[in-house]
C-alpha cells in the first residue's frame, strides 16, 4: 500500500520520503477554505490527497480569474517552494478533501537535506507554471465552450466524473459573465458531453470533451508525465 494518495509524494524514494514524513500533518480541508491570501505570508504547504484547489489572480472579486488548479497530483503554494514568502495570488479549496500539511520552514529544511525531494518539487513547480501559461493561451485565443471543456477535463482528472462546480465558480474559472457560462454549458449538454444539474456537472463523454477542448487541453498533463514520470489521469 502506498503511504500517501498524493501522486507527487508517492514518487519519492523511501529515503527521501522518510526525511519529510515526520513533519507532515494530516488535515481535512473544507470547501471554500483559504490556503493563502494575496500578499500574506505563506505559512503552510498542502500536499493534496483529494479535493480541488484553485489559484486566483486579481484582487477585486469582479476582476478575478482562476489561473490554475491543483489536486492530488501536486501541492499548494508553489511560490513558497521557490523561496518566495508571499504572492499577489490567493488560493482556496473549490472542493474539499484530505491533505498532508507542512510548515514552509520545515519543508525548506527537508529540501536542503534531500536533493531528490528538492528536484521533484521544482519539477512540479515547472509543470504548474506551464499550466498557468496554458490558461493564459486558452483565455486569449479560444472561445468559451472550448475553455469550459478544458476546465471540466482538468477537474475530472482530479475529482472524478461528478464535479460540484457552480455557475459562479465556472464564471471565475473562465473569466466571463454567467450568461456566457450558461450558453457554453448548454452547448456541451447539447452534444451529450456533460449533464448539468444544480451546482453539479456530470461528465458523460470524455472523448467528446477532448475533441471540443482541442489543443487547449493536454500540454501541462503531458509535461507532468514527462518530468514526474507518471500520468496522474490514470
Q: pLDDT tens digit string along 159-179?
A: 999 999 888 888 878 888 888
Q: How far apart are CA 59 and CA 38, in angstroms?
A: 8
Condensed to tens digits (0 to 9), the pLDDT of residues 72-120 reads 999 999 999 999 999 999 999 999 999 999 999 999 999 999 999 999 9
Condensed to tens digits (0 to 9), the pLDDT of residues 200-230 reads 999 999 999 999 999 999 999 999 999 999 9
CATH of 143-218, one of 1.10.10.10, 3.40.190.10, 4.10.80.40, 1.10.3720.10: 1.10.10.10
**Domain spans of the chain?**
9-138+222-228, 143-218
Pairing, β 44-48 against β 97-103: antiparallel
Quick one: which of 216, 193, 76, 79 has its CA closest to 135? Answer: 216
Relative orientation angle of helices 219-228 and 115-141, to the nearest 10 degrees: 170
Query: Where does the pLDDT of residue 16 fall: very low under 50, low under 70, confident under 90, or very high at 90 and above?
Result: very high
Q: Supply the pLDDT for residue 174.
A: 85
CATH topology of domain 9-138+222-228: Jelly Rolls (2.60.120)
Cα dihedral 147, 181, 143, 128 in deg (nearest 10): -20
Question: Is it the case that residue 60 has pLDDT exceeding 90?
Answer: no
Q: Supply the pLDDT for residue 61.
A: 67
Q: Supply the pLDDT for residue 35.
A: 98
What phi and psi values does residue 76 have, to the nearest 5 degrees? -85, 165
Amino acid at each position: 500500500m502506498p503511504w500517501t494518495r498524493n501522486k507527487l509524494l508517492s514518487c519519492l524514494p523511501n529515503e527521501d520520503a522518510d526525511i519529510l514524513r515526520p513533519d507532515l500533518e494530516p488535515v481535512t480541508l473544507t470547501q471554500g477554505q483559504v490556503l493563502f491570501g494575496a500578499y500574506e505570508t505563506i505559512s503552510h504547504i498542502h500536499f493534496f490527497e483529494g479535493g480541488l484547489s484553485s489559484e486566483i489572480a486579481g484582487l477585486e472579486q469582479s476582476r478575478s480569474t482562476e489561473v490554475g488548479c491543483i489536486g492530488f497530483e501536486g501541492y499548494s503554494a508553489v511560490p513558497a517552494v521557490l523561496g518566495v514568502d508571499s504572492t499577489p495570488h490567493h488560493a482556496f479549496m473549490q472542493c474539499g478533501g484530505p491533505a498532508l500539511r507542512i510548515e514552509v520552514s520545515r519543508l525548506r529544511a527537508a529540501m536542503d537535506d534531500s536533493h531528490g525531494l528538492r528536484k521533484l518539487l521544482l519539477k512540479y513547480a515547472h509543470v504548474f507554471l506551464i499550466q498557468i501559461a496554458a490558461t493564459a493561451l486558452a483565455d486569449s485565443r479560444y472561445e468559451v465552450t472550448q475553455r469550459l471543456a478544458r476546465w471540466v477535463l482538468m477537474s475530472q482528472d482530479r475529482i472524478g466524473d461528478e464535479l460540484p462546480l457552480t455557475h459562479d465558480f465556472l464564471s471565475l474559472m473562465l473569466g466571463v459573465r454567467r450568461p456566457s457560462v450558461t450558453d457554453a454549458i448548454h452547448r456541451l449538454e447539447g452534444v451529450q458531453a456533460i449533464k448539468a444539474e444544480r451546482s453539479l456537472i456530470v461528465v458523460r463523454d470524455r472523448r467528446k470533451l477532448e475533441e471540443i477542448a482541442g489543443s487547449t487541453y493536454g500540454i501541462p498533463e503531458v509535461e507532468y508525465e514527462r518530468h514526474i514520470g507518471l500520468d496522474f489521469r490514470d
